[in-house]
Copies of this chain bind each other. A is one copy, B any other.
Amino acid sequence: MIYLLFALSVSIASAQQTLKMTSAKIRAYRQANEHKIIGELAELLAIPNLASDSVDIRRNAAKLVEMLQQRGVRTQLLEVAGSPPVVFGELKAPGAKRTLMFYAHYDGQPVAAMKWDTDPWQPVLRDQATEAGGKIISMPSPDKAFESEWRIYARSASDDKSPIVAMLTALDAIRANKLKLTTNLKFFFEGEEEAGSPHLEAIVAKYADQLKADAWILCDGPVHQTRKQQLYFGVRGIISFELTVYGANRELHSGHYGNWTPNPAMMLSQLLASMKDEDGRVLIQNFYDGVEQLKPMEREAIAQTPDSDRDLMRSLGLARAEGGGKRLVELVNLPSLNIRGLQSAAAGDNARNVVPAAATAAIDIRLVKGTDRHRMRELVENHIRQQGCHIVHADPDFETRLKYPKIVKTVWEEGYNASRTAMDLPISQSLIAAVEAMKGEPVIKMPTLGGSVPFYIFTDILQTPAIGVPIVNHDNNQHSANENLRLQNLWDGIEVLAALMVM
């Protein structure tokens, strides 16, 4: 028994030593090939990638197939009727210890191009973040290195195209150094994650046999705000919806009708205000019911996470945070309700003196283990009814308008529930060990990532552990204008992902 423990610790120590050497080799490869890596990423970023644009999406998919095939990876497009294709790849390693499925998505959030400083699909390099006064710089000449604080600006620079380049570069670096690939590699690049992954479940069901793996490695989301590597073992689920409140059947002159006709923008404000208190606590009845308690190992991991909240508030120009004094890392283990947009008639230069005919709020609810999306929908609709509103799911007809004094249309996206992989599984522990060895320091282990990835499809439907290995910077303006990737994050990401292929 003592011998066995000794042998195990020798084996771990030796594995750690090996990974440390590996790390140096991977880094050397990257340093020698930065221009090629950035060039490949820039080409990929230049292809617009809104999930709903099927022509552009297939151009992205074709490019990914080409990138995989150049590396000898067998490719296949996985699709069901109406879906963008999943770009699937498979590379077998002789004598592999395991099979890992590397997940990323190649579609991006819609862009409000007016708000971008440069074209979202014309990647540019800046010497630092725009918020810090970063200036556009040209590509360095082939004999010059890229500086690690430089950033690439483009839609999906961080979310989620650069992880794809990091994975493939990790493979290149392993081969160039003739390191042993200990893992069968599968790649799963989704094309509609930002649209809520409406076909993912069907695709996974259809191709379940090909998708067998020991774990899914989710390369989405950012590293910690302290720029430290983090691994996440769960994600929040999401269910999004829009509320539209109606006034008269057309806009009316605000002078002639301004304190007689009901104002839908005011009705919407009152309805929204009823949903949260001043401190951000959701007032919808039973909203927090059923939240699953964290296990001791998870609570311990949270406790060890560095507290960067004050720094984060400072960098964001915030004099306060919501959540009653709880830390951000704790708060993401609770469900949230967030107004992601408001729209009624017009504000700003195009404001007109009207009583609007309708007012709309776009809202997302983030779910955690124990809070089901169907039940949340019910709770929200109950709350709306409690405010005296009649709920419809399409624009009300004339008779409905005449019948109900307060009409609210709710339009729900499908959404998905939260899920979590246990930290104490052997695959979880191996992965933590490999990444910590590669980094040479402990990493942050998050029971729940604040953002949403359709983890449940892997954990609950495929019954396979899923672990998030994010690589991009937290301050990447993900989902917004001026999305960017800090180069050091790409460099680090290549090493971390390589660790998983040779661990």
Contacts and interface: CB of A to CB of B under 8 A. Distances in A.
Contacts of A478: 253, 256
B352 A110 contact: yes
A394 interface: no
A252 B340 CA distance: 10
A459 to B, nearest CB: 18
A477 to B, nearest CB: 6
Interface stretch (A7-15, A160-168, A321-329): A321-329
Contacts of A273: 266, 269-270, 272-274
Interface in A234-261: 236, 238, 240, 242, 247-261
Contacts of A401: 317-319
Contacts of A341: 265, 344-348, 350-352, 356
Interface stretch (A16-24, A28-36, A86-94, A360-368): A360-368
Given A343-B342, A452-B255, A110 B321 contact: no
Contact of A342 (B337, B342, B403): B342
Nearest to A335: B259
**Which size bracket describes the interface of A in this complex?**
35 or more
A424 interface: no
A354 interface: yes
B256 A474 contact: yes
A320 interface: yes
Contacts of A249: 131, 316-317
A362 B250 CA distance: 18
Number of this chain's copies in the assembly equals 2
B354 A260 contact: no
A256 B473 CA distance: 13
Contacts of A332: 255-256, 259-260
A345 B343 CA distance: 8
A370 interface: no
Interface in A262-286: 262-263, 265-266, 268-270, 272-276, 278, 280
Nearest to A397: B317
B255 A342 contact: no
B276 A266 contact: yes
A338 interface: yes
Contacts of A331: 259-260
Contacts of A451: 253, 255-256
Interface string A296-331: 000000000000010000101111111100001001
